[in-house]
Homo-oligomer: A and B are copies of this chain.
């Protein structure tokens, strides 16, 4: 069906002839082509909501960088917005919510979103699938419920997310109600993405690392697990929980195919802890791409040696940073593909 389905085979644990690779934030500011498309929208939110533009930047890294998958261009915060909590993306600052979740009433007022509320993403997926024309699979994605809740309570990014954590400590029952509503919305949304053509799903738990182990199990992994149970029977699922070094053994029990790792995790340790029933994804430090080609090639080689060629998808341990050199990024991708 696909000209190149190596990433799907790697996710399912089928034999591959080389290591597949894609990069988090591969559709982004490292590409001049992205900036040109981005300039056609008034602001970030309008950009995300425009299916033609979103589909266009989704395809760019496949053509330009030669990655083994596209990932639909969108934002994890479309779910809070669809639930009734709109946000702004402030240049050089990040997301900002005018209204935040504080009380039972705030949670009651939230709507459980379905794919119809996010039709602009569904349309973008359909367009991207058409333009991809089966060259490579398309990855859909969502934010993990804890990460979305963290923004919905805190109202913006934060080093500590202390207000969102305060909510967990002071109003745990309300937190569970909120997380449940986000989870149901996310399942509806991801099923819509799959119906529109997404071939794999990745869940991003960007703020896993602000929680301790017990809170992580109770307030994050429980809901990730529900999503995996609903989605994994449909398409391969990847869970990427940044800085969740303490939860690798727990993640090994999820109904998911692939576990994403950040660059603080030792590949061999991860394999021992997680076992051989999951594909691992990661985990180069994005800043390594600031180095010279010799160092980049050495990293690619080391990564593939450490993870092995089977049950492995090469990626970074975080998204690409906007000031990285696109030629070096492409060089890294070529190195991995050539090994």
Which A residues are within 8 Å of any B CB, using their own CB?
157, 159-160, 162, 165-166, 168-170, 209, 211-213, 215, 243, 245-246, 263-266, 285-288, 290-292, 295, 317-318, 321, 323
Across-interface contacts of A288 in B (CB, < 8 A): 169
Nearest CB of chain B from residue A143's CB, rounded to whole Å: 17
Residues on B with beta carbons closer than 8 Å to the beta carbon of A165: 285, 287, 290
Known: A162-B287, A287-B165. A212 touches B245 (CB 8 A): no
* Chain B: CB-nearest residue to A296: B169
The 4 A-B pairs with the shortest beta carbon distances in the complex, nearest first, are A165-B287, A169-B291, A166-B290, A212-B263
Q: How far is the CA of A58 from the CA of B317 in the complex (A)?
A: 40
Chain B residue with the shortest CB-CB distance to A264: B246
CA–CA, A168 to B209, complex, Å? 24
State A169–B324 Cα separation when bound (angstroms).
13
**Nearest CB in chain B: distance from A226 CB, A:** 23
Contact at A285–B318, with CB atoms within 8 Å? no
* B160 & A266 in contact (Cβ 8 Å cutoff): no
25 A–B contacts from the bound complex (CB under 8 Å): A157-B159, A159-B159, A160-B287, A160-B321, A162-B287, A162-B321, A162-B323, A165-B285, A165-B287, A166-B287, A166-B290, A169-B288, A169-B291, A169-B295, A170-B290, A170-B292, A211-B264, A212-B263, A212-B285, A213-B264, A215-B285, A245-B246, A245-B264, A246-B264, A246-B266
A291 and B170 form a contact (CB under 8 A): yes
Distance A159 CA – B211 CA, assembled complex (angstroms)? 16
Interface-central residue, A157, A263, A295, by most chain B CB under 10 Å = A263
Query: Across the two chains, which residue of chain B brings its CB closest to A317?
Result: B212
- The answer for the CA separation of A245 and B290 in the assembled complex, in Å, is 25
Q: How far is the CB of A117 from chain B (nearest CB, A)?
A: 30
- Is B290's CB under 8 angstroms from A212's CB? no
List the B side residues contacting A266 at CB < 8 Å: 213, 246
Q: Once bound together, how far apart are the Cα atoms of A318 and B323, in whole Å? A: 31
Apart from A159-B159, A162-B323, A246-B266, list 14 A-B contacts with CB within 8 A: A157-B159, A160-B318, A162-B287, A162-B321, A166-B287, A169-B290, A170-B290, A170-B291, A170-B292, A209-B243, A212-B264, A215-B285, A245-B245, A246-B265
* Complex contacts, A295 vs chain B, CB 8 Å: 169
- Counting chain B CB atoms within 10 Å of each CB, the highest count among A170, A245, A285, A323 belongs to A285
Instruction: Please name all residues of chain B whose beta carbon is closer than 8 Å to the beta carbon of A246 when the two chains form the complex.
Output: 245, 264-266
- Residue in contact with A209 in the complex, picked from B166, B264, B321, CB distance below 8 Å: B264
Residue ID in chain B nearest A284 by CB atoms: B212
A286 interface neighbour in B162, B209, B243, B317, Cβ under 8 Å: B162
User: In whole angstroms, what is the CA distance A307 to B246 when docked?
Assistant: 17
CB distance from A40 to the nearest CB of B (A): 28
Chain B positions within 8 Å of A170 at CB level: 290-292
**Shortest Cβ gap from A284 to chain B (Å):** 9
CA gap between A159 and B159 in the complex, in Å: 7
Chain B residues with CB under 8 Å of A157's CB are 159
Closest residue of chain B to A161 (Cβ to Cβ) is B287
Cα distance A120–B170 in the bound complex, in angstroms: 41
Q: In the assembled complex, how far is the CB of residue A293 from the closest CB belonging to chain B, in whole angstroms?
A: 12
